[in-house]
């Protein structure tokens, strides 16, 4: 067996006999005492070791190489000896003496599906994205030939340790479902991420450091949820992400187990709103159970907890979009309210008769109507950047539209109706050269790609929480600190003032100046949890996987007789719009709904761009990282049936 030595010590001069006792391993009494303390501390109703897929060892000889901390960690020996050829596994990672079967995890994973930190040989070009079929290109064969399907316990994701109906669910992972992209398979394994570093001391028993608590003490009541247990362990290595496993991810979203009209739900309406992971749902419940209070200005404990949770959510947004300071983050109800806030504060102060505001033909109504209202009030002019027949901005026309009369450029980063990705860096740079302020609508971009507002250079950036796997009724306005300080308040009342007399009022600095009254505290906290969730998955992983779904679906949809794709820009997010001969979009949407497939059918609050393309409505499936190629196949099959019916 491999011997553990202090860091920096020299290796032995000769091989260590296999029967040599492991150094620095606690004695049996200590092991039993620590294990007993941990499992005794579990809330009632939570199962023991067996529910984690690990049986209690019969003796110290059956323990894994690294001893779990008091919180419990996943043993590194997650691949049973004997299930993997010894020639393919480094001797430093597998004990040489036999391990009792009762001491190893019950899930056995083929070596081709467990990343080891180095990407396998691949014939594809670096950075190329293949269209996956449940995270793998169709027909892909792993190195060494095909491997059998395996059943993987679903406890590795953020799922409860038990369910009302029995033990945790399992998901059957086929060999074809293993993602073979070098970027993903080169990431550390789930076991590596969940196992604490060897030099990290275990946290004090009974004092887990939950991510949402300011202080190290345990919560007022035990939380019967594996999410908090795993979250405390994951945060030991916050910069490392497990490999993307769509089956494990799907287990994090309770609503995906719903059935609609007798069929499993397929949620392809993500551009309208996204589903919520269990961690977000539980975080909001925890807030109301343990932290609920109005924020600020109180001396009691719950006000402190609530304020801490709210401001931590602001900090999470700051980190997520790359803002310079939390003082640049304003909480609002959503992107729509955010744009209206900017129009009614910055716009009313700075826009005058004869000034010009530029938007694009791709915009959602929320980035059109507020500017129309402001122009009607001030006498300013609203001008539109045109698009080509593929739904791409004509940047030469944009350059010609800019002038010294241009005061604001406000454009979307991703079209909600077509999925077109716009060149926001260039748009903002040109606006600034013309002396204008730039606003970017990021409602459709933040769920799909990493955003850095300082890199973009935008003066304003807005997005909605419910499109980012967070709650409804919460959104964000980012404003450059200098621009925000120059803006007057929008609404008056409590929280946004520093002093009030009957003769005058003094206002808080940003962001408090723009958050009058009691805000949506719980849902802001839920948004923070949603950001934590997608950051654990990794935005690069999300972007890569969703792009694979788009590349898988696009040619299959285009090949259906009578289908016309709407919006075929070269650079797109995971949105597909189409129309179908012989059917109104609403008819197609209803037919798909009969099979449990949810898509949006209509104008998508983007009538100008659809009319530019000669349409009043489209069918719009839109994908998220919890969708699969099998679900796309279900949709394609039903659309092919509809196409045959009108021949």
Q: Are strands 597-598 and 266-267 parallel, antiparallel or unpaired?
A: parallel
The span from the CA of 28 to the CA of 19, in Å, is 18
The span from the CA of 71 to the CA of 34, in Å, is 10
Please indicate whether residue 375 is annotated as part of the active site.
no
Tokens 């719903």 — which residue? 258
The span from the CA of 59 to the CA of 599, in Å, is 55
Give residues with Cβ within 8 angstroms of 596, minimum separation 6.
259, 260, 261, 262, 263, 264, 265, 266
- Structure-block tokens of residue 258: 């719903």
Q: 3-class SS at 539?
A: helix
Give residues with Cβ within 8 angstroms of 251, minimum separation 6.
154, 157, 159, 169, 171
Q: Of 35, 381, 605, 643, which one is the catalytic site residue?
A: 605
Does residue 511 have a cis peptide bond before it, meaning omega lies within 30 degrees of 0? Answer: yes
**What angle do helix axes 301-321 and 521-537 make, rounded to 10 degrees?**
40
The span from the CA of 277 to the CA of 269, in Å, is 16
Find out whether 526 and 470 touch, Cβ atoms under 8 Å: yes
Q: 3-class SS at 259?
A: strand
φ, ψ at 463 (rounded to 5°): -160, 165
The span from the CA of 270 to the CA of 272, in Å, is 5
Query: At 531, which helix (H) or strand (E)?
Result: helix 521-537
Among candidate residues 613, 641, 532, 629, the one with its CA nearest the CA of residue 574? 629
Among candidate residues 462, 287, 276, the one with its CA nearest the CA of residue 367? 462
Q: Are strands 356-360 and 263-264 parallel, antiparallel or unpaired?
A: unpaired
Find out whether 365 and 506 touch, Cβ atoms under 8 Å: no
Among candidate residues 214, 232, 215, the one with its CA nearest the CA of residue 223? 232
| Residues designated catalytic | 605
């Amino acid at each position: 067996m491999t011997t553990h030595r202090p860091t920096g010590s020299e290796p032995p001069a000769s091989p260590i006999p296999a029967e040599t006792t492991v150094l620095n391993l606690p004695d049996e009494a200590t092991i039993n005492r620590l294990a007993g303390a941990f499992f005794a501390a579990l809330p009632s109703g939570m199962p023991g070791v067996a529910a984690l897929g690990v049986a209690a060892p019969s003796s110290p000889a059956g323990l894994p190489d690294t001893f779990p901390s008091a919180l419990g960690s996943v043993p590194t020996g997650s691949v049973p000896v004997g299930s993997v050829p010894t020639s393919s596994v480094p001797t430093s990672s597998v004990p040489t003496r036999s391990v009792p079967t009762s001491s190893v995890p019950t899930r056995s994973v083929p070596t081709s599906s467990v990343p080891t930190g180095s990407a396998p040989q691949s014939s594809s070009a670096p950075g190329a994205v293949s269209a996956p079929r449940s995270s793998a290109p169709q027909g892909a064969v792993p190195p060494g030939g095909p491997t059998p399907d395996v059943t993987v316990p679903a406890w590795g994701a953020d799922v409860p340790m038990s369910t009302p109906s029995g033990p945790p669910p399992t998901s059957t992972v086929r060999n074809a479902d293993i993602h073979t992209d070098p970027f993903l398979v080169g990431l550390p394994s789930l076991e590596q991420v969940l196992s604490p570093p060897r030099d990290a001391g275990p946290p004090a028993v009974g004092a887990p450091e939950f991510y949402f608590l300011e202080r190290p003490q345990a919560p007022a009541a035990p939380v019967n949820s594996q999410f908090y247990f795993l979250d405390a362990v994951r945060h030991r290595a916050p910069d490392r992400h497990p490999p993307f496993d769509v089956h494990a991810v799907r287990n994090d979203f309770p609503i995906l187990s719903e059935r609609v009209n007798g069929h499993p739900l397929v949620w392809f309406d993500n551009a309208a709103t996204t589903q919520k992971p269990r961690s977000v749902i539980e975080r909001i419940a925890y807030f109301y159970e343990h932290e609920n209070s109005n924020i600020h200005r109180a001396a009691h404990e719950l006000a402190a907890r609530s304020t801490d949770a709210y401001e931590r959510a602001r900090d999470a947004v700051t980190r997520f979009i790359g803002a310079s300071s939390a003082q640049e983050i304003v909480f609002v109800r959503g992107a729509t309210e955010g744009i209206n806030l900017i129009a009614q504060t910055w716009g009313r102060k700075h826009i005058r008769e004869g000034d010009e505001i530029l938007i694009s033909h791709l915009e959602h109504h929320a980035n059109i109507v507020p500017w129309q209202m402001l122009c009607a009030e001030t006498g300013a002019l609203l001008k539109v950047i045109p698009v080509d027949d593929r739904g791409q901005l004509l940047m030469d026309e944009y350059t010609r539209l800019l002038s010294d009369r241009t005061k604001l450029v406000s454009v979307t980063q991703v079209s909600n109706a077509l999925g077109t990705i716009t060149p926001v860096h260039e748009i903002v740079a040109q606006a600034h050269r013309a002396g204008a302020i730039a606003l970017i609508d990021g409602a459709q971009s933040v769920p799909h790609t990493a955003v850095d507002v300082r890199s973009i250079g935008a003066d304003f950036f807005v997005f909605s929480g419910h499109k980012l796997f967070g709650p409804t009724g919460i959104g964000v306005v980012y404003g450059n600190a200098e621009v925000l300080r120059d803006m007057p308040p929008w609404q008056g009342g409590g929280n946004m003032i520093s002093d009030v007399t009957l003769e005058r009022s003094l206002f808080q600095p940003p962001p408090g100046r723009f958050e009058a009254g009691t805000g949506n505290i719980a849902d802001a906290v839920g948004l923070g949890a949603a950001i934590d969730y997608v950051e654990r998955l990794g935005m690069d992983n999300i972007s890569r996987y969703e792009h694979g779904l788009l590349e898988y679906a696009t040619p299959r949809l285009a090949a259906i007789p009578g289908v016309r794709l709407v919006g075929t820009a070269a650079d797109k997010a995971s949105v597909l719009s189409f129309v179908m001969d012989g059917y109104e979009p609403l008819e197609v949407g209803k037919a798909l709904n009969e099979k449990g497939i949810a898509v949006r059918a209509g104008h998508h609050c983007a009538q100008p761009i659809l009319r530019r393309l000669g349409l009043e409505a489209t069918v719009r499936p839109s994908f998220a990282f919890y969708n699969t190629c099998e679900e796309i196949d279900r949709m394609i099959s039903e659309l092919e049936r509809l196409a045959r019916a009108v021949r």
